[in-house]
Structure 1
Amino acid sequence: MQPSVDFWYELASTYSFLAAERIEALAEERGVAVRWRPFLLGVIFKAQGYDTTPFNIIEAKGRYMWRDMERWCDRLGVPLARPEPFPQNSLLAARTALALPDDARPEFSKAIFRAEFCEGRSISDPAVIADAVRQTGFELETAVAAAQTDLVKHALRKETDEAQRLGVFGAPTIVTPDGELFWGNDRLEEALDWARGRK
Structure 2
Amino acid sequence: MAGATLDFWFEFASTYSYLSAMRIQDLARRCDVVVRWRPFLLGPIFAAQGWPTSPFNVYPAKGRYMWRDMDRLTKARDLPFTRPDPFPRNGLLAARIALAAGPQMPAFCRAVYTAQFGGGADIADPQVLQNCLAQADLSVTLLDAGQDPAIKTELRHQTDRAIALGLFGAPSFTVGEEVFWGDDRLEAALDWAAPD
Q: TM tier, shorter chain?
A: over 0.9
- Contact conserved, 2:33 with 2:195, CA < 8 A, in 1? no
- Contact conserved, 2:32 with 2:195, CA < 8 A, in 1? no
Task: Tell me which moved more, 146-155 or 27-36.
Answer: 146-155
C-alpha distance in structure 1 between counterparts of 2:20 and 2:5, whole Å = 16
Name structure 2 gaps, 5 residues minimum. none
1:108 aligned residue: 108
Partner secondary structure for residue 52 of structure 1: coil
- Contact conserved, 1:12 with 1:87, CA < 8 A, in 2? yes
Partner secondary structure for residue 122 of structure 1: coil
Partner secondary structure for residue 104 of structure 1: helix
2:133 aligned residue: 133
Highest relative contact order (Cα 8 Å, sep 6+), 1 or 2?
2
Task: Tell me the CA shift for residue 96 of structure 1.
Answer: 0.8
- Contact conserved, 1:98 with 1:147, CA < 8 A, in 2? no
Task: Tell me the CA shift for residue 52 of structure 1.
Answer: 0.7
C-alpha distance in structure 2 between counterparts of 1:83 and 1:146, whole Å = 25
C-alpha distance in structure 1 between counterparts of 2:44 and 2:97, whole Å = 18
- Contact conserved, 1:81 with 1:120, CA < 8 A, in 2? yes
CA shift digits 1:87-145 (9 cap, x unpaired): 001111111111111x210011111001000100000000111011112212211x122
Question: Normalising by structure 1, what TM-score?
Answer: 0.94
C-alpha distance in structure 2 between counterparts of 1:71 and 1:44, whole Å = 28
Letter in 2 for 1:79: P
Name structure 1 gaps, 5 residues minimum. none
* Matched ranges for 1:21-170 at <5 A: 21-101=22-102, 103-141=103-141, 143-170=142-169
Task: Tell me the CA shift for residue 197 of structure 1.
Answer: 5.8
Letter in 2 for 1:34: V
Task: Tell me the CA shift for residue 158 of structure 1.
Answer: 0.7
Letter in 1 for 2:190: L
Identity, in percent, stands at 51
From 188, 191, 196, give the equivalent of 1:190. Answer: 188
Task: Tell me the CA shift for residue 148 of structure 1.
Answer: 1.2
- Contact conserved, 1:182 with 1:188, CA < 8 A, in 2? yes
Letter in 1 for 2:17: S
Letter in 1 for 2:78: G
Task: Tell me the CA shift for residue 181 of structure 1.
Answer: 0.3
RMSD, matched Cα: 1.4
